[in-house]
Every structure is written in structure tokens, then in C-alpha cells.
């Protein structure tokens, strides 16, 4: 075991979740999330009015209802799966400490960085976003820096910006799809659905769309799919601006018209399942596809705490174990 082994701490970061499936808790969470200028890139004064006079008066109740449909005894699935994934990494035994935090909500990035600072001399921050976007990974970087700038002694900090082309990650997703097909059979089409992003963000230099396309192509290749057997779309459009296309909901409505009535959907941009995958993708979009004439719609779960997922993430961290201590 090298001298740096006992000195390295790891912080996994996910998006976040309300503390409870109630309008009050959801409103508190949405206020923090949607107040981030990385998330909504419109003039602050205008957005303050929209957020406080419209969004936070309407959306919390609707979202709370959606959260209640997926809530578990351990809280939100995103929180539970992220904790389980953390436990698998900690069980590896080579890190001084492994913590997880949420960019918005609890546990906070500040609290978990403070905990790691007491355990390790070098910390690696690993946002659980395979594909980089300023609105996700970039915002995590902001929060880490906001914490570090208050420290007198800043330890070694390393930041993993993306892992969209990491072979072990790609193979882990492909393996989960193979396992699903072995148990349930193959569809007419495999749809890769990624979280949407306003097109203007990509026009300004965000690499997200290209990284999503690379991920989908590589996983399709690992599965041996030809170009007619898979497609890519983007979900969760919000507001009136143009977002990355094609839109997932439009794609699902069009497929039955084209004679494609059996579709499986996988979301490789989500490390673990959450409201968006379990309610929007697995339930709401299923209804849209079947309502348009589809016959079979299946959501393939995120990697969650599968052993090969943990192995892929540990592979990203291993180079930092070799750093001089």
C-alpha cells in the first residue's frame, strides 16, 4: 500500500433532494436550486420575479405530489442510492474517508468537505454527472470553492470534471442493459435519454451535448447495435426557450406512428435513480408512448449501487492514490 493511500478523501456529489415530500420542503429546495445563476442563466432581477411570484407559488405542490409517489422509508431514492454507492466505495478500504453530499439540500457540500478535511490531506471531488455541464458540474465546483476560500489551510483538492468516455463506466451501462434484455427480451428501439439543456448554453461553449452523443454512440457500439436500433433524445424541457433536440416526449409520440411499438429507455446521464427517472421517464413518458399507440415501454434503471458502478468510480479515483503523499 503506497504512502498516499491513507491520506486521500473522496467526496461524491449529487444534485439534491428535498428533506420531505411536502410543499414546504420542496419550496425550500427549489428556492436554493433555482436561485443558482448556473442553473438559470437569465437576468437576475427578471428571474427573481418569475421565481418568487410564479414558480415557487405553483411548482412546490405539484412536485411534492410527484415526490410522494416515489418516496421510500429511507427518504428519496436519489439520497438512498447515493448513500449506498458511497458505502461501496468506502468498503474498498484504500481511502481515508468517503463522503457524499448534495449540491442543493442536505447533506451539504460544506459540511462534508469539513468532515473530510479532518480525515484526509488530499480530497478528490467526484460529481456524479458523467457528462459535464456548467449547470451541474460547474455549479459543484463553485460550491467547493466557496467552502475552500474560507479555510486558512486548504488541502490538496482535485476535481473530476466528467467521465463520459471512461471505459469502465460505458461498460457498466452496457452490462446493465444486457442484463435487462436477458431477463425481459429486446425492444424495437433503445432510446438514450439525457437531461435537457437550453441550446444557448451549448452555443456559448458548454460541451454537454457532444459528450452525451459520445456516450450514446459508445454504449450502442458495446451492445453491437446498428444505427437503426438506437436513438438519442433530451428530456425535461423547462420554459419557452429552445432546448437541445430532439425532445424525448416528441420522440416517444412519433415512434408508434413509424411502426415502432416496443421501446426501452435508458438514462446514462444519471448515476442513480431520482424523481426525474422514476416519475417522469418511467411513468409520465410511458403514458405518452402508450397513448400514442405504443405497446411496450420499459425503463432500464440507472446504475445505482451495482458493483460494476462502484468499480468504475474507483477506477477514476485510483490515479489519485498514486500521488506522492
Q: Is 276 annotated as a binding residue?
A: yes
CB 266 within 8 A of CB 193: yes
Residue ranges of the alpha helices (H) in 149-207? 167-184, 199-203
* Alpha carbon separation from 253 to 67, 73, 293, 301 (Å, rounded): 25, 35, 8, 22
Ranges of beta strands (E only) in 32-121 are: 97-105
Q: Which residue has the cell 427517472?
A: 277
**CA-to-CA distance for 165 and 215, rounded, in angstroms?**
6
CB 12 within 8 A of CB 271: no
**CA-to-CA distance for 231 and 182, rounded, in angstroms?**
21
End-to-end, the C-alpha distance of the chain in Å comes to 12
Q: Is 309 annotated as a binding residue?
A: no
Torsion of CA 163, 169, 171, 174, to 10 degrees: -100
**CA-to-CA distance for 71 and 12, rounded, in angstroms?**
22
Environment class of 74 (CB within 10 Å of its CB; exposed 0-12, middle 13-18, buried 19+): exposed
Q: Which three cell numbers stand for residue 101?
A: 453530499
Q: Mapping DSSP to helix (H, G, I), strand (E, B) and coil, where does residue 181 land?
A: helix
CB 233 within 8 A of CB 280: no
> Which residues line the annotated binding site for Fe(2+)?
195, 276
> Which residues line the annotated binding site?
195, 276
Amino acid at each position: 500500500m503506497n504512502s498516499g493511500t491513507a491520506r486521500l478523501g473522496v467526496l461524491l456529489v449529487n444534485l439534491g433532494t428535498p428533506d420531505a415530500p411536502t410543499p414546504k420542503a420542496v419550496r425550500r429546495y427549489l428556492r436554493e436550486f433555482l436561485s443558482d445563476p448556473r442553473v438559470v442563466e437569465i437576468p437576475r432581477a427578471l428571474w427573481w420575479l418569475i421565481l418568487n411570484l410564479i414558480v415557487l407559488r405553483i411548482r412546490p405542490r405539484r412536485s411534492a405530489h410527484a415526490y410522494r409517489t416515489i418516496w421510500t422509508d429511507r427518504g428519496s431514492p436519489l439520497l438512498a442510492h447515493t448513500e449506498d454507492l458511497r458505502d461501496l466505495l468506502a468498503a474498498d478500504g484504500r481511502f481515508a474517508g468517503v463522503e457524499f453530499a448534495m449540491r442543493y439540500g442536505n447533506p451539504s457540500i460544506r459540511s462534508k468537505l469539513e468532515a473530510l478535511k479532518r480525515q484526509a490531506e488530499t480530497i478528490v471531488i467526484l460529481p456524479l454527472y458523467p457528462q459535464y455541464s456548467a449547470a451541474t458540474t460547474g455549479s459543484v465546483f463553485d460550491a467547493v470553492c466557496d467552502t475552500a476560500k474560507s479555510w486558512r489551510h486548504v488541502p490538496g483538492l482535485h476535481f473530476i470534471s466528467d467521465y463520459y468516455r471512461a471505459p469502465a463506466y460505458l461498460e457498466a451501462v452496457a452490462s446493465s442493459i444486457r442484463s435487462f434484455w436477458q431477463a425481459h427480451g429486446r425492444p424495437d428501439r433503445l432510446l438514450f435519454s439525457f437531461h435537457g439543456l437550453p441550446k444557448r448554453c451549448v452555443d456559448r461553449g458548454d460541451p454537454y451535448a457532444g459528450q452525451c452523443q459520445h456516450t450514446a454512440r459508445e454504449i450502442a457500439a458495446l451492445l453491437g447495435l446498428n444505427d437503426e436500433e438506437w436513438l438519442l433524445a433530451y428530456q425535461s424541457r423547462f420554459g419557452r426557450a429552445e432546448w437541445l433536440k430532439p425532445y424525448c416526449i416528441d420522440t416517444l409520440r412519433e415512434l408508434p406512428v413509424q411502426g415502432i411499438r416496443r421501446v426501452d429507455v435508458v438514462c446514462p446521464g444519471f448515476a442513480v435513480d431520482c424523481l426525474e427517472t422514476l416519475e417522469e421517464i418511467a411513468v409520465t413518458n410511458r403514458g405518452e408512448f402508450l397513448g400514442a399507440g405504443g405497446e411496450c415501454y420499459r425503463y432500464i434503471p440507472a446504475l445505482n449501487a451495482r458493483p460494476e458502478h462502484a468499480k468504475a468510480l474507483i477506477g477514476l479515483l485510483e490515479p489519485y492514490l498514486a500521488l506522492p503523499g
